[in-house]
Structure 1
Amino acid sequence: MDFKRELLVFLSSLDFENENIKAAYEKLEDLENFFEIDSESLEQILEGLGGFAKNRIIKYRSRQRVEKVLEICQKQNIQIITSLDDYFFDNLRMIENSPMLVYVKGEDLEITRGISIVGSRKPTAYGQMVVKSIIEGVVSLEPTIISGMAYGIDALAHENALENGLRTICVLGCGVDIIYPKRNKTIYERVLSSGGLIISEYPPKVEPRPHKFPLRNRIISALGEATIVVEAAEKSGSLITATYAASQGKEVFAVPGNINSINSKGCNKLIRDGASIYTSCEDLLEALPFKNKNKVNKEKVSLDMDQTLVYDLISKGISKFDDILEKTKYPTKRLNEIITILEMEDLIYASSFNEYEIVR
């Protein structure tokens, strides 16, 4: 493992949140003698970093700490995937607060046709029925079902996916070696035995804490092409997932419910605020990017890496020129060239001034 990856593992081992890892990494990434440099010099290099983070880095830095994490991962078949790796998840690479690294149990890292499903931890019979209906309705598309392995809707999403032979992914707010909640041990084991993945941005041995779950929701939404909220109270964590999904340019669906039901207040609010209403599988199938025939059109044309990236961003709903510019960091001239080529190939069109859509 090279120095930069060692550094990321070390920073992760300090139980920092991703923003602290990124801030520290940017100061240290070129300091090849990080583990040997004297503390006084290191403190000067870390100037501007928060006192808590700075003190932990200086106090605990050692290669032994990295080696301990690597040893645990090797024994438990945990992969460490960093943003420096070519095979890092593309859907995570482009989001705000993109994780610098993730830990993964499972083998096949490719995620195709992802649908994220979240909702109440205490679903009604109605919510249970809706989850079953959603999964059974999309079986023919062979999607990957993504959720957080919590009680309630999350667990139902995983269970129904498994029952219907679909691949499913659990995103945890703790280390991937920790089964949380413990009562979902069977789900955890079945996900892995069926070819699914357990993913977390936290290293092994990190226990679940309340503040970590809202943060992991951005990963749940990012890995899917659409997010469906099935029953949510007015202040449910599922609404955080929906907000992340919308900011990531993903389609957000909410299942409407009884206006007097506590479990439906959050979903009804999402619909009021602009989320797509979910009334049947047809609503979902119409909007899913992978349901449309865009991929066929794209495959008929030979696109370079930059053109493919821009095309994929537009297909995910990041359609305004300035937003694409911000995501890609391309020079304005280069992005204009790419847009022109995609238009000439009849892959995209200008739906309004400086905004583009995929040709259906």
Structure 2
Amino acid sequence: MNNDLLYQISLSIISNIGNVQAKILAHHFDTAEAIFRAPLRVLEKLEGIGPVRGRAIRDFRDFASAEREIKFIEQYGIRTLYLNDTGYPKRLLHCFDPPTILYCKGSAELNFDKSIAIIGTRSNSQYGKKATETIIRQLAEQLQHAGKELLIVSGLAFGIDAVAHATALELNIPTVGVLAHGLNTLYPKEHSALARKIIQQQGALITEFSSQEQPDKYNFPVRNRIVAGLCDATIVIETGVKGGSMITADLAHGYNRDVFAVPGKITDAGSAGCNKLIRQNKAMLLSDAAELMDAMGWKKPEPAAITAAPKALLFPDLNEQETVLVEMLRLQEPIHLEEFSVKTRLSPGTLAGALLNLEMMQVIESLPGKRYKLR
């Protein structure tokens, strides 16, 4: 067992310490134990912590709850990922409020080359089902041609979520179901067989909720931010103007991730949400995977595109967008995220994805204040 696990779980349940504050603390301390052993005078001087939250950490005594959670984890073979762990999803770390700890059942790698969230209504039509299946199949084929692996993320709900998971399984694509409750139960229970297949086929069920947490309605919007934050882009397929899919799309938009929506008939209430997202420029209209590949800059570059950038030979695996960012950093560093956005005119999601890929390849490193420099 990870000796720091007791403190990692404890950090996630301290009153007045939310995910934003936990991220601040994890940035300043190498281990969760170090946070609990830090003097109050050190904690209260941290921006975003202060004396009240510092005292809440120093006065915390409910380690028994964390110990019970560890027993559950060990009994059922659950994997945990803390903010500072190497396997923690790097895309989530680019969000301002990543989960302090993730509980995972299954072996899925959460830092895949490309990760797509597919969400939508619980009451899908045949049109929505067909669109979901077609787009996933096209994406898998085109990313394979580009030499990239794909991860499909959704919420294991009825409707489009279930179609997305099932299609991924059929195509042997790893898929992750993000839950709004602890791993001692499953909601909806009708998806127990689907959940087992996800785990068996190198996928995973993940949650930030402890084992005793039930699927309360307030947990679902909280869960949705993980769906959005885990992915390079979110695809919305059939949704009304209200509901969880619209919340997830807004969250993805707020995280500077690209959002795509499959349009529907103007008379179809089941597609009114998708049409609204497109109309408000919160989502790009999507009719096939090639459009997403173009928008995200994921297509395999032509040979001429590689030879056109001789300065990038030190990093031969970079795509066109990544090469541009590296060249900018060679001329000047560090560079703020906003400056990249203004000078490259890349979409927020494409820019975020390119920077994340460069970080994962250890070409660049992020600095406090949304700044970047070459390693």
Q: Does 1:198 align with 2:205?
A: yes
For structure 1, the residue ranges without an aligned partner over 5 or more in a row are 320-326, 342-360
Deviations 1:205-228 (A, max 9, x none): 321111111112121122222210
Counterparts of 1:31 and 1:257, CA distance in 2: 51
TM-score (norm 2): 0.71
Q: Give the match for residue 122 of structure 2.
A: 121
Amino acid at match of 1:111: F
1:48 aligns with 2:52: yes
Aligned letter for 2:287? Answer: T
Inter-partner Cα distance in structure 1 for 2:271 and 2:158: 17
How far the C-alpha of 1:240 sits from its partner, in A, is: 1.4
Instruction: Show the counterpart of 2:105.
Output: 105
Give the conservation status (yes or no) of the 8 Å contact 2:118–2:161: yes
Given that 2:180 and 2:219 are in contact with CA atoms closer than 8 Å, whether structure 1 keeps it comes out as yes
1:75-121: CA deviation from partner (whole Å, max 9, x where unpaired):
11111110121221111111121222111111242423211100101
How far off is 1:158 after superposition?
A: 0.3
In the alignment, what sits opposite 1:248?
A: 255
Relative to structure 1, the CA distance from residue 180 to residue 57 in structure 2 (aligned partners, 3 Å threshold; closer, same or farther) is: farther
Question: For the residues of structure 2 that align with 1:244 and 1:331, how far apart are their CA atoms?
Answer: 21
1:301 aligns with 2:314: yes
> Could you say what secondary structure the match of 2:124 adopts?
coil
Deviation at 1:33, TM superposition (A): 5.2
Q: Kindly indicate whether the alpha-carbon contact (under 8 Å) linking 1:148 and 1:154 is maintained by their aligned counterparts in 2.
A: yes
Partner Cα separation in structure 1 for residue 221 and residue 76 of structure 2: 26
1:318–1:281: structure 2 CA closer, same or farther, 3 Å change rule? closer
In structure 2, the partner of 1:133 is 134
Q: Does the 8 Å contact 1:13/1:69 carry over to 2?
A: no
Whichever residue aligns with residue 244 of structure 2, its letter is G
SS of the equivalent of 2:183 reads coil
SS of residue in 2 equivalent to 1:270: helix
* Higher mean C-alpha deviation, range 187-196 or range 284-293: 284-293
Contact 2:278–2:285, Cα closer than 8 Å, also in 1 = yes
After superposition, the Cα gap between the structure-2 partners of 1:240 and 1:331, relative to the gap in structure 1 and judged at 3 Å, is closer
With over 3 angstroms needed to count, the CA separation of the structure-2 counterparts of 1:32 and 1:258, relative to structure 1, is closer
Q: 1:31 to 1:246 in 2, by over 3 A?
A: closer
Matched to 2:106, the amino acid is: G
1:32: how far off? 4.5
The structure-2 alpha-carbon separation of the partners of 1:300 and 1:241, relative to structure 1 and needing over 3 Å to count, comes to farther
Whole-angstrom CA distance in 2 between matches of 1:279 and 1:31: 49
Summarize the alignment of residues 15-94 of structure 1 with structure 2, pairs less than 5 Å apart. Answer: 18-19=19-20, 30=34, 32=36, 47-49=51-53, 61-62=62-63, 64-94=64-94
Please give the root-mean-square deviation of Cα atoms over the aligned residues, in Å: 3.8
How far is the alpha carbon of 1:180 from its aligned partner?
1.1
Structure 2 gap ranges (5+): 44-48, 144-148, 317-321, 327-336, 341-345, 353-364
Residue 284 (structure 1) aligns with: 292
The one-letter code matched in structure 2 to 1:151 is F
User: Structure 1 CA distance, aligned partners of 2:189 and 2:242?
Assistant: 25
Change (3 A) 1:108 1:166: closer
Per-residue Cα deviation, 1:128-155 (whole angstroms, up to 9, x for no partner): 1111111222232252111000111111
* Structure-2 separation of matches of 1:94 and 1:23: 13
**Distance verdict in 2 for CA 1:33–1:223, change over 3 Å:** closer
Contact 1:24 1:46 in 2 (8 A): no
Look up the match of 2:224.
Answer: 217
Q: Distance in 2 between matches of 1:214 and 1:151?
A: 16
Mapped to 1, the partners of 2:37 and 2:290 lie a distance apart of 57
CA distance in 1, matches of 2:84, 2:301: 32
- 8 Å CA contact retained: 1:24, 1:49: no
Contact 2:108–2:176, Cα closer than 8 Å, also in 1? no
Alignment partner, residue 175 of structure 1: 182
Q: Give 1:207's match in structure 2, choosing from 191, 214, 226.
A: 214
After superposition, the Cα gap between the structure-2 partners of 1:146 and 1:135, relative to the gap in structure 1 and judged at 3 Å, is same
Is 1:317 aligned with 2:366? no
CA contact (8 A) 2:259 2:284 kept: yes
Aligned residue pairs total 313
Could you tell me how far 1:46 is from its partner in structure 2? Answer: 8.6
Q: 1:318-333 alignment to 2 at 5 Å?
A: 318=351, 328-330=366-368
> Given residue 280 of structure 1, which amino acid in structure 2 is its aligned partner?
D
Task: Describe the shift of the 1:74–1:245 C-alpha distance in structure 2 as closer, same or farther (beyond 3 A).
Answer: same
Distance, in Å, in 1 between the alignment partners of 2:157 and 2:300 is 31
Q: How many Å separate the matches in 2 of 1:134 and 1:31?
A: 45
Aligned residues with identical type, % of pairs: 29
For the residues of structure 2 that align with 1:199 and 1:240, how far apart are their CA atoms? 19
Moved over 4 A (4+): 13-17, 19-34, 56-60, 296-300, 313-316
Distance 1:17 1:181 in 2: 27
